[in-house]
Chain A
Amino acid sequence: MKKIYIPLIVVVFSLFSCTKQQGPIEPLLVISTVSYVNDIQPIFDENCIDCHNINVEQHFGDLNLEADKSYIELININADYDENIKRVIPNNAINSILWQKVNNSNLYGDNMPLTPNDPLSQNNQNLIKVWIEEGALDN
């Protein structure tokens, strides 16, 4: 009776076929006008708010990226650890911490997101860059 377990385990394991696949490769989108509400906030919702939310914000750079809160916490706001650098400077992605962190530049400590969706897709990175260069509008 006990011997039944052994074939059972083998069967359970072999039920799931192995695949050998890599991806996805996303086609690069041509980005013209970026909407904060429709394009940027969904990126935060999917990749950032597990940590950057109202409940735990004090431990994660004092930053809350939940909808309705994120915009005011980003635009021209100083990083909590250094008053000389800003999270987002409109029209200036290169000097915005947000862009540098998601661009994996290693300039400002850990790149984001940390885990488990590391890193942002190229399209999402481009969206953030273009949004900042277009003036970081709340549109």
Chain B
Amino acid sequence: MSIYKNVSKLLILLLSFASVSVYAQEAWIVPDAENAIVNPIQNSEAAIVSGQKLYKSLCVACHGNLGAGDGVAAVGLNPKPTDFTTADFHKQTAGSVFWKLSKGRGVMAPYEGMLSEEDRWALVSYLKSLKVEIPKKKVATKKVNNTFLFTQLINTQTVQTLPNKISEFTIQHRFGVTQLNSDFINDFLGMDLGANLRLAYAKAINSRLYAEIGRTRYGKTYDLGAKYLVLQQTIDNKTPFSIAVYGNMGINTQKFPKVIDGSTFVDGSNFSYSFAHRLSFNSQIIFAKQFSESFSMQIAPVVIWHNLVAKDEKNLDFVIPFGARLELNQKSALLFEVTPKIIAKNKRMPLSIAYEIASSSAHAFQLILTSTDRILEQSIYSNETIDYSQGKFVLGFNIKRLF
């Protein structure tokens, strides 16, 4: 039964997409004679109950459970289905409502031939029984859910967490370092060179928290991470931005290089490798704002910690990645990232741009032009950025899927 319901909702949705775009909304003028007709069944309790039954089966898909014009099938509709909880609706006479649902217009079906006159009057009785909602309340609680589409922009984390019970699978692939000379064609855009790859799986624990696990080729690195959405921007901008915290631990599983006897740490003690030396940490707090439905920006101070670094390096790095997403149309967007390095060995800023092709908000392909063949943030920020002033760059792609 519920499958049938869902399928019918989907059909209504598809049909409405097909028919809706041409429809310009004009005032819907009801003939005076019809307007004056009084409800012959006089809003009796029985009529309201049977009207409600009809509403739940016929109208709910577009007009919504509570009659607010926000049903699942209303998402793509323009104009929006009538909201039966407004004062404007309740100003209309019963006769006017009866005439409109009998005749229909555009996506709104004419019920004259489908329902008996008594049923139609019962529906009118039910609609008239709905309460007028004060619109302010609804708007105030609406949150900005899609500041970005996915949990990562290109290389950096976004404020985005996953909807409850949803998983995200990510494939990040970077070709080798190349430049525009004969090698570019010979090595086919850098594809023939050593490549880097990361697979990651993230799972929502609730709508504000998710955990993830990933594996990167460089360093044979496993990573465990989690993100928590602390504060969510609201549409009315009373909360003007979103804040999330993210933590990630990288575990390098490559064989330790050989060291000769008598080697020491910088502090003078005897050198030997231990498991802790494989670990690196990435902690960050992300601030993001959606400026319009097509433009979002974020800034995220990141602290990177490596348990063991080479003799003339520091364990701590501090960088502030800045990211932006500009939606070009429903299917594509431009992504941009730049990361000023505040405390780091090499101060050249990693730069990335990407063209995102999204067949839906659950599936996307990103073509990337970037200045690093590293993927994990601890690896990007703590290593030297490719010298793009010499025309060197890396191409790559990300594939993302929510399910």
Contacts and interface: CB of A to CB of B under 8 A. Distances in A.
Contacts of B211: 5, 9
B257 interface: yes
Contacts of A59: 187, 192-193
Interface in A1-34: 2, 5-6, 9, 12-13, 16-27, 29
Contact of B257 (A20, A22, A27, A46): A46
Contact of A20 (B205, B224, B226, B307): B307
A26 B260 contact: yes
Contacts of A60: 193
A50 B218 CA distance: 12
B219 interface: yes
A16 B308 contact: no
B265 A123 contact: no
A86 to B, nearest CB: 21
Nearest to A12: B224
Contact of A27 (B218, B263, B308, B311): B263
Interface string B292-317: 00000000000001011111110100
A137 interface: no
A18 B266 contact: no
B259 interface: yes
Nearest to B373: A115
A18 B307 CA distance: 6
A84 B76 CA distance: 68
A33 to B, nearest CB: 17
Interface stretch (B37-45, B104-112, B275-283, B323-331): B275-283
Interface residues of B, number: 44
Nearest to B308: A21
B281 A116 contact: no
A68 to B, nearest CB: 22
A95 interface: no
A60 B186 CA distance: 12
Contacts, number: 97
B162 to A, nearest CB: 13
A22 B193 contact: no
A20 B277 CA distance: 9
B307 A21 contact: yes
A21 B249 contact: no
B271 interface: yes
A85 interface: no
Nearest to B196: A115
B247 interface: yes
A115 B309 CA distance: 15
Given A2-B205, A23-B308, A23-B311, A116 B218 contact: yes
Contacts of B177: 114
B375 to A, nearest CB: 13
Interface of B: 177, 187, 192-194, 205-206, 209, 211, 218-219, 224, 226, 247, 249, 254, 257-260, 262-267, 271, 274-277, 279, 281, 305, 307-313, 315, 373, 383
Given A9-B226, A21-B277, A24-B265, 7 more contacts: A13-B224, A19-B276, A19-B277, A20-B315, A22-B312, A23-B271, A24-B311
9 closest cross-chain pairs (CB), A and B: A23-B265, A24-B263, A24-B271, A22-B266, A27-B262, A19-B307, A26-B263, A5-B205, A19-B276
Interface of A: 2, 5-6, 9, 12-13, 16-27, 29, 46, 50-51, 56, 59-60, 114-117, 123
16 contacts: A5-B209, A6-B209, A16-B249, A18-B276, A18-B307, A20-B315, A21-B265, A21-B267, A21-B277, A22-B308, A22-B309, A22-B312, A23-B310, A24-B263, A24-B264, A25-B263
